[in-house]
Amino acid sequence: KESYLAVDCERVNLGKQGKICLVQIACYSSKTLFLFDLESKTRELVIKCLKVVLEDQKIQKVFHDSRSDCESLLFHLNIN
């Protein structure tokens, strides 16, 4: 139901050599923050959920300095 989301990724090391550990998504209208733990036992399910949301072209994603976040999402999680 959101028209835009704020997204931030936390990594160990940057770029292709590092790995994403946590993805944070904030929803402005509901004032809700979601934390996606990529070190959890449900990693594959978390990645599938993130892929659905982050690849939805109807939702605008807002990043700050997105180059390394987007590179990591694509390279490590196959999320475009």
Q: pLDDT digit string (tens) for 40-65? A: 899 999 999 999 999 999 999 999 88
DSSP 8-state secondary structure symbol assigned to residue 79:
-
pLDDT value of residue 37: 93
Residue 59 contacts residue 50 (beta carbons within 8 Å): no
Record the pTM: 0.85
Average pLDDT over residues 11-30: 84
Mean pLDDT of the chain: 89
Q: How confident is the model at residue 29 (pLDDT cuts 50, 70, 90)?
A: confident
How many residues can be counted in the chain? 80
Angle in degrees, CA 56, 58, 61, rounded to 5: 70
